[in-house]
């Protein structure tokens, strides 16, 4: 079950988003300020973060920049009532995966979340394939050129990654 972080200063908005995403079986964690986001993302337990632009202590845009500077690849979706093309461009340049204007349509929220989670999973799959290019069978592996047998488990790992997403 994907785990989603919602960082918004409005408790009603946090509760509403958690309820909407709970309908489609996402586990939702909520935060009320921007300073708490990166430490939680660094734990590696969050699959996607929805971040309000106006957060106390640290703005949503600052959070996005901080997360990307830390080389964290968690998909980040910016939420804001300030709908301007300039802000949207700034968010994307900072590393946001998507941008949602408030008030939020619940169906649109579900679509954006599903799309962002899918993009993150595909990115992870692509990274795994790239890493496999640097792997080799163990010296004592009885890998056969027919590609059907492997004693070290590399062949099974490759098949598991192919099944992912």
Residue 124 has pLDDT above 80, yes or no: no
Closest CA to 91 of 67, 126, 127: 67
Neighbouring CB atoms inside 10 A of 110's CB total 15
Confidence of residue 150 (pLDDT cuts 50, 70, 90): confident
Distance CA 78, CA 91 (A): 7
Model pTM? 0.73
Q: What is the mean pLDDT of residues 101-122?
A: 87
Confidence of residue 146 (pLDDT cuts 50, 70, 90): low
Q: Is 77 exposed, middle or buried (0-12, 13-18, 19+ CB in 10 A)?
A: buried
Q: Is 31 exposed, middle or buried (0-12, 13-18, 19+ CB in 10 A)?
A: buried
Distance CA 1, CA 71 (A): 24
Distance CA 37, CA 79 (A): 14
Q: Which residue is associated with the tokens 């592996």? A: 141
Q: What is the mean pLDDT of residues 123-150?
A: 63
Predicted local distance difference test score (pLDDT) of residue 135:
67
Q: Which domains does the chain have, with CATH numbers?
A: 3-120 (3.40.50.2300), 135-163 (no CATH)
């Amino acid at each position: 079950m994907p785990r989603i972080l919602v960082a918004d200063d409005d408790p009603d908005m946090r509760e509403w988003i958690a309820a909407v995403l709970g309908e489609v079986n996402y586990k939702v964690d909520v935060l009320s300020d921007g300073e708490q986001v990166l430490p939680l993302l660094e734990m590696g337990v969050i699959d996607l973060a929805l971040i309000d632009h106006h957060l106390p202590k640290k703005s949503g845009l600052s959070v996005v920049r901080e997360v990307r500077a830390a080389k964290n690849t968690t998909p980040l979706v910016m939420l804001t009532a300030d709908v301007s093309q300039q802000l949207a461009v700034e968010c994307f340049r900072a590393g946001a995966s998507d941008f949602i204007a408030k008030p939020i349509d619940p169906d649109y929220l579900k679509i954006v979340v599903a799309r962002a989670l899918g993009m993150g999973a595909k990115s992870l799959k692509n990274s795994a394939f790239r890493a496999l290019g640097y792997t080799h069978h163990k010296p004592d592996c009885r890998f056969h050129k027919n590609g059907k047998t492997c004693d070290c488990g590399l062949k099974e790992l490759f098949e598991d990654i192919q099944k992912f997403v």
